[in-house]
């Protein structure tokens, strides 16, 4: 198993972290086009702490909430249950290197390359994240975003369309080619603004890794889980439910 850490590919057995929409291999061109990051809420919106329920007909669209409030909706080890260790906290975002993906690229998928031209549409007002390990080598990462519901819905749709439009493409980390194979997954019961896909990554020496991504929007918040497929399937509903918690 490998994971991306600060823009480099780690070999099996090394310490793993989940960062930047959890793993650059899962977020693909989003990491390259927009750094898997969001413009801070204070720089882009006058974000306020509001509920995530959809507005009534004719009422103003919900505003994004502040990062501090968004963090309350992150999963914790208490939510996940026994066996989980938190490996990344929201404070880790402050130390992220903005150039950590400079040596990475994507080829063979025009939709992903085109997404880079519309990066503002997949940058959201507020973002926070957390990462976890389970057992010896299973990982789970979560990202939360907040913006107006229409901005989240449009950006998520663009991102997921680009991510799943090419069954196979190539990523490079430095000079190392990584073959990426993508399969769309169904999202029963997760609502209309929900998407999921499974990514298989293969590299030199015959190693491979399988990651699942599931994302859903509720009002002015968006959750994305990436990691071991069984863990994502097990916890995506809990992550969505926590968006709706007070």
Domains of the chain: 4-243 (3.40.1000.70)
Cα separation, 193 vs 195, in Å, equals 7
Please answer whether residues 243 and 223 qualify as being in contact, where contact means their C-beta atoms are separated by less than 8 angstroms.
yes
Cα separation, 150 vs 154, in Å, equals 6
For the chain, the residue count is: 246
| pTM for this entry | 0.79
| Average confidence (pLDDT) per 10 residues, the chain, 246 residues | 30 33 42 41 38 47 93 96 88 60 79 76 86 88 93 91 91 83 93 92 85 94 93 96 87
Please answer whether residues 201 and 176 qualify as being in contact, where contact means their C-beta atoms are separated by less than 8 angstroms.
no
Cα separation, 181 vs 231, in Å, equals 20
In this prediction, residue 89 carries a pLDDT of 75
Please answer whether residues 66 and 126 qualify as being in contact, where contact means their C-beta atoms are separated by less than 8 angstroms.
yes
**Residue 201: CA count within 13 A, CB half-sphere:** 24
Residue 162 backbone class (left: φ over 0; alpha: ψ -120 to 50; beta: rest): alpha
**Residue 59: CA count within 13 A, CB half-sphere:** 8
Question: CA torsion angle for 60, 128, 243, 220 (degrees, to 10)?
Answer: 10
Residue 95 CB neighbour total at 10 angstroms: 6
Please answer whether residues 169 and 114 qualify as being in contact, where contact means their C-beta atoms are separated by less than 8 angstroms.
no
Handedness of CA 227, 2, 70, 135 (dihedral sign): positive
| 186 class by beta-carbon count within 10 Å (0-12 exposed, 13-18 middle, 19+ buried) | exposed
């Amino acid at each position: 198993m490998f994971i991306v850490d600060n823009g480099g590919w780690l070999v099996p057995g090394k310490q793993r972290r989940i960062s930047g929409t959890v793993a650059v291999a899962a977020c693909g061109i989003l990491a390259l086009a927009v750094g898997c990051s969001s413009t801070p809420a204070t720089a882009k919106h006058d974000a306020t702490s509001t509920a995530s329920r959809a507005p009534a007909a004719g009422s103003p669209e919900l505003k994004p909430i502040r990062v501090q409030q968004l963090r309350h909706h992150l999963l914790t080890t208490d939510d996940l249950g026994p066996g989980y260790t938190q490996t990344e906290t929201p404070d880790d975002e402050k130390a992220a290197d903005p150039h950590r993906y400079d040596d990475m690229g994507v080829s063979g998928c025009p939709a992903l390359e085109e997404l880079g031209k519309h990066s503002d549409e997949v940058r959201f007002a507020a973002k926070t994240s957390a990462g976890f390990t389970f057992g010896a080598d299973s990982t789970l990462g979560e990202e939360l975003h907040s913006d107006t519901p229409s901005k989240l819905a449009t950006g998520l749709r663009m991102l997921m369309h680009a991510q799943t439009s090419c069954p196979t493409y190539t990523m490079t980390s430095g000079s190392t080619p990584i073959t990426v194979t993508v399969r769309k997954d169904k999202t029963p019961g997760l609502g209309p603004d929900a998407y999921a896909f499974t990514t298989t990554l293969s590299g030199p020496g015959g190693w491979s890794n399988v990651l699942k991504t599931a994302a859903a929007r509720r009002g002015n918040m968006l959750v994305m889980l990436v990691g071991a497929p069984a863990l994502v399937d097990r916890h995506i509903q809990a992550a969505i439910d926590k968006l709706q918690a007070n």
